[in-house]
Amino acid sequence: MQVTAENAKKDKPTPAFSRTNPFPAKVLKNVNLNGEGSSKETRHLELSLEGSGLSYVPGDALGVVPENDPELVAALIEEMHWDGQAVVTINKQGETLPLKEALTTFFEITLLNKKILQQSASFTENEALQNLVLVENAAQLKEYCYGRDLLDMLRDFGPWKASSQEIVSLLRKMPPRLYSIASSFTAHPGEVHLTIGAVRYTSNGRDRKGVCSVLCAERLKDGDTIPVFVQPNKHFHLSESGESDIIMVGPGTGIAPFRSFIEERAVNKATGRTWLFFGDQHAATDFLYQSELEKYQQEGAVTKLDTAFSRDSEKKVYVQHKMLENSQELFAWLEKGAIFYVCGDKEHMAKDVHEALITVIEKEGARARDAAEAYLKDMQQNGRYQRDVY
């Protein structure tokens, strides 16, 4: 066969997009899901995967490689009187970038750790830092790192006798941020949707911003591109059988994978029942995807929808309280083989939901605490209790 330029082109494998080679996904839509007056900002982001060869299943995550806030980068360069155009080496392979670009696109500058402080101590005679890195002050060192960034360290422990190269050599590469995918590929071929809560807070006298969440909230516009890859999630996935009943607990941005589950089951006309528990602060401003969910409920793709809006009543009501209110029916679903999913905050919500689940099994199954725990453990081992918590 004669190899023409066209054939050669066909035979040439397209580069596989992955964590090490992310795909530049184009922004199709970026809207705030919260109503006016909400204390929260939750972005619904729609990205194009056209031409990437990437696909995903409900439960998977999307890795997003963000850039640092240009204001923070400018403050670092100004603090240290650096030249933003000076070329620095960024890795062991000897690759180089101008300093400003390296601080923007390559390095993690918003988190500190023990290693960075210990190594930076050799670049200053500052006594406070010399004390902080002593072995006996490990607890104080850990406390200092919490909620502080590179700019804090450079301001707190100067004067510095280090070049920009020596300082960036202390930093680690910017890690990608993983978000639960909020869409079904079957329902939206060639697209991927995310639900991202903008993180903003004040700590140690400075306003802080989540690197990726605030990039999405403030700087990412329609038509822009952002590097992404698909991260499969073997431990959190929708049952292949459309006949299974599913119970989903996802307050706040924890709704993301369940939007994907519901869309997938709606497209595939699943016959199993679907029960969603959703919670947030105020029904008027924080009911994420309300019209979509209510439409799915009318069409039968969502069998039951229970909501808990914690700030709308005198006594705070959360998703676990709604589970306890519905304990009899909840247990009946479990007894019939329903799969129970929970997504969202690991520190409080997931623990409270776990406790509520044990209480439901104890009460409705007339079991002792240890027997209820064993029931739940058995569900977990059989893939009927799955958690995506962060």
pLDDT in tens, 62-84: 999 999 999 999 999 999 999 99
Same domain for 251 and 362? yes
Domain end (from 231, 257, 276)? 231
Could you tell me if residue 5 is inside a domain?
no
Q: What is the pLDDT of residues 95-116, one digit of tens each?
A: 999 999 999 999 999 999 999 9
Same domain for 42 and 99? no
- Looking at the 3D structure of the chain, how many domains does it have? 3
Residue 15's pLDDT is 62
pTM value is: 0.93
Could you tell me if residue 217 is inside a domain?
yes
Same domain for 357 and 290? yes
Q: pLDDT confidence of 277, banded at 50, 70, 90? A: very high
| Arithmetic mean of pLDDT, 190-207 | 96
Residue 8's pLDDT is 44
Same domain for 347 and 259? yes
Assess whether pLDDT exceeds 80 at residue 11. Answer: no
Provide the domain limits for residue 76.
Answer: 70-168
Q: What is the pLDDT of residues 127-163, one digit of tens each?
A: 999 999 999 999 999 999 999 999 999 999 999 999 9
Q: pLDDT confidence of 268, banded at 50, 70, 90? A: very high
| Arithmetic mean of pLDDT, 192-205 | 96
Could you tell me if residue 10 is inside a domain?
no
Which residues on adjacent β-strands are paired with residue 339? 246
Could you tell me if residue 7 is inside a domain?
no
Same domain for 37 and 139? no
Same domain for 123 and 46? no
Assess whether pLDDT exceeds 60 at residue 350. Answer: yes
Residue 66's pLDDT is 98
Residue 14's pLDDT is 55
Domain end (from 120, 151, 168)? 168
Same domain for 287 and 381? yes
Q: pLDDT confidence of 9, banded at 50, 70, 90? A: very low
Residue 3's pLDDT is 43
Same domain for 271 and 328? yes
Could you tell me if residue 328 is inside a domain?
yes
Could you tell me if residue 236 is inside a domain?
no
Same domain for 74 and 131? yes
Q: Tell me, what CATH number does 317's domain have?
A: 3.40.50.80
Torsion over CA: 111, 115, 118, 123 (sign): negative
Same domain for 204 and 349? no
Could you tell me if residue 317 is inside a domain?
yes
Q: pLDDT confidence of 2, banded at 50, 70, 90? A: very low
Same domain for 47 and 193? yes
Mean residue pLDDT of the chain comes to: 95
Domain end (from 168, 194, 211)? 168
Mind spelling out the 3-state secondary structure of the chain? CCCCHHHHHHHCCCCCCCCCCCEEEEEEEEEECCCCCCCCCEEEEEEECCCCCCCCCCCCEEEECCCCCHHHHHHHHHHHCCCCCCEEECCCCCCEEEHHHHHHHHECCCCCCHHHHHHHHHHECCHHHHHHCCHHHHHHHHHHHCCCCHHHHHHHCCCECCCHHHHHCCCCECCCEEEEECCCCCCCCCEEEEEEECCEEEECCEEEECHHHHHHHHHCCCCCEEEEEEECCCCCCCCCCCCCCEEEECCHHHHHHHHHHHHHHHHCCCCCCEEEEEEECCHHHHCCCHHHHHHHHHHCCCCEEEEEECCCCCCCCCHHHHHHHCHHHHHHHHHCCCEEEEEECCCCHHHHHHHHHHHHHHHHCCCCHHHHHHHHHHHHHCCCEEEEEC
Could you tell me if residue 335 is inside a domain?
yes
Same domain for 263 and 381? yes
Q: Tell me, what CATH number does 144's domain have?
A: 1.20.990.10
Q: pLDDT confidence of 51, banded at 50, 70, 90? A: very high
Question: Could you tell me the strand order of the sheet in which 177-180 lies?
Answer: 177-180, 61-64, 225-231, 23-32, 42-48, 191-197
Residue 137's pLDDT is 97
Assess whether pLDDT exceeds 60 at residue 372. Answer: yes
In percent, how much of the chain has pLDDT > 90? 95
Q: Tell me, what CATH number does 53's domain have?
A: 2.40.30.10
